[in-house]
Amino acid sequence: MKYPVLLAACATLLLGGCHSLPTRPQPLVKTELFFGNTKGSGGVVSEKEWQAFLDHEITPRFPDGLTIVDTRGQWRPRDGRLIREKTRLVMIVHPETAENRAKIETIRRMYEKRFGQELVLQVTTPVKAVFD
């Protein structure tokens, strides 16, 4: 008779602690965005214009951090000509959520519209990241 009470007490103690078990972290992805520097209307995106876009559109959506690499790229748009241009590669590691996907899409569309770009290339890949 003592054993059922003891078992019930042990079960209560064990189950009571379950709420403090670590939760499984959300999957992480790395999104790479390729921002061409040539404006659709002619000219190039100035350093001041880029910094304003970064400060007002990208950073507020991903304030925890990102990496920017200045590089050069080339691609062939719909009209068939080859474009070589300075390109800014922005890399963001973030949880894979619908909210973050929407933020990325907003950033892409805003840059395309503001600077007359045909597209901002996006590459998203799963990652295993260590932050501690």
Could you tell me the pTM of the whole model?
A: 0.79
Q: Say if strands 121-127 and 83-95 run parallel, antiparallel, or are unpaired.
A: unpaired
CA–CA separation, 60 and 32 (whole Å): 17
**For the chain, what are the domain ranges?**
23-127
Range with lowest mean pLDDT among 14-18, 86-90, 113-117, 124-128: 14-18
Residue 108 in this model has a pLDDT that exceeds 80: yes
- Is 23-127 a CATH 3.40.50.720 domain? no
Residue 13 in this model has a pLDDT that exceeds 70: no
SS3 readout for the chain: CHHHHHHHHHHHHHHHHHHHCCCCCCCEEEEEEEEECECCCCCECCHHHHHHHHHHHHCCCCCCCCEEEEEEEEECCCCCCCEEEEEEEEEEEEECCHHHHHHHHHHHHHHHHHHCCCCCEEEEEEECCCCC
* For residues 82-107, average pLDDT: 97
Q: For residue range 47-87, what is the model confidence (pLDDT) as tens digits?
A: 999 999 999 999 999 999 999 999 999 988 888 999 899 99
Provide the pLDDT confidence category of residue 9 given band limits of 50, 70 and 90: very low
